[in-house]
């Protein structure tokens, strides 16, 4: 994870042959800096996959699309593309239908619809070299269809956006609080914990919790809630909390 939170989101997935950037919610300069911190660079990115059009996931995308030195194709759903302000840019797009599966290099990509207040939001699962990785953030709840997609993951990035008590007494207007708590908003620590206790696949060796609200959550609260749920299940899953201002650890398989 290069960044995760309400101010910007981006992650890198790489094999020896293929590099995919998931979301581009940071400026091109900041993306470059964070990639450099883990020994990577923008010029080697083969594809950029976009989950949805909200600014914390695409704010850096129009500039990336205009940069002729970058070779990356941009993948997003047919409905998401018109929702982004490209300016004068005519980006090289690879549109797909939500729910479709496709291949990028040696990585198989599986998309699935998620419940969020965007035009056509999706999550992803990736498979390569016998490893399966799931990405599910920005969703108001976890329907059975998403639980099905997230089975058998070796690494799962899951949202833990807010603590309900902190949200209720926090600085947001009531209309925003209602939106965050709705079925097209964001996952609370409680919903995340319920998923870990009831549905997290025992094969998931690595769990990354992300998209934490800086106003309505705290990494140590998330860590405590998740650790208790994992211990209750008797799972030895490695837990990591993704942060907004620096890259996470690098997960290697």
- Region 131-151: mean pLDDT is 98
pLDDT at residue 20, as a whole number: 98
Q: Which residues contact 121 (CB under 8 A, 6 or more apart)?
A: 51, 52, 80, 113, 114, 138, 139
pLDDT at residue 240, as a whole number: 98
pLDDT at residue 89 above 80? no
Query: What angle do the packed helices 189-198 and 219-233 form, to 10 degrees?
Result: 20
pLDDT in tens, 111-126: 999 999 999 999 999 9
* Average model confidence (pLDDT) across the chain: 97
Say if CB 91 and CB 65 are below 8 A apart. yes
pLDDT at residue 202, as a whole number: 95
Residue 219, H or E segment: helix 219-233
Domains of the chain, CATH where assigned: 1-96 (3.60.15.10), 130-243 (no CATH)
- 3-state DSSP assignment of residue 174: helix
Predicted confidence band of residue 91 (pLDDT cuts 50, 70, 90)? confident
**171: which 2 tokens?**
């600085």
Residues above pLDDT 70, as percent of the chain: 100
Main-chain phi, psi angles of 38, to 5 degrees: -115, 20
Predicted confidence band of residue 181 (pLDDT cuts 50, 70, 90)? very high
For 210, how many CA atoms within 13 A lie in the half-sphere containing its CB? 32
Q: Which residues pair with 188 in a beta bridge?
A: 162
DSSP state of 251: P
* H helix runs in 4-136, sequence order: 28-37, 55-58, 61-66
């Amino acid at each position: 994870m290069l960044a995760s939170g309400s101010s910007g989101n981006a992650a890198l997935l790489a094999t020896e042959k293929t590099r995919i950037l998931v979301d581009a919610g940071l400026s091109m300069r900041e993306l470059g800096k964070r990639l450099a911190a883990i020994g990577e660079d923008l010029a080697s990115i083969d594809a950029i996959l976009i989950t949805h059009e909200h600014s914390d996931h695409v704010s850096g995308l129009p500039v990336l699309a205009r940069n002729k030195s970058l070779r990356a194709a941009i993948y997003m759903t047919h409905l998401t593309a018109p929702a982004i302000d490209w300016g004068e840019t005519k980006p090289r797009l690879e549109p797909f239908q939500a729910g479709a599966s496709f291949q990028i290099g040696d990585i198989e990509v599986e998309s699935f619809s998620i419940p969020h207040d965007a035009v056509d939001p999706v999550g992803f699962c990736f498979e390569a070299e016998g490893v399966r990785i799931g990405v599910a953030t920005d969703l108001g709840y976890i329907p059975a269809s998403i639980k099905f997609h997230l089975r058998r993951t070796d690494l799962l990035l899951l949202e833990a956006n807010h603590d309900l008590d902190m949200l209720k007494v926090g600085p947001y207007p009531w209309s925003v609080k209602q939106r965050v708590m709705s079925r097209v908003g964001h996952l609370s620590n409680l919903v995340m914990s319920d998923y870990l206790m009831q549905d997290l696949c025992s094969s998931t060796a690595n769990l990354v919790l992300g998209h934490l609200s800086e106003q309505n959550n705290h990494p140590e609260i998330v860590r405590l809630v998740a650790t208790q749920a994992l211990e209750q299940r008797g799972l030895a899953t490695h837990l990591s909390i993704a942060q907004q201002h620096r890259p996470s650890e690098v997960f290697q398989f």
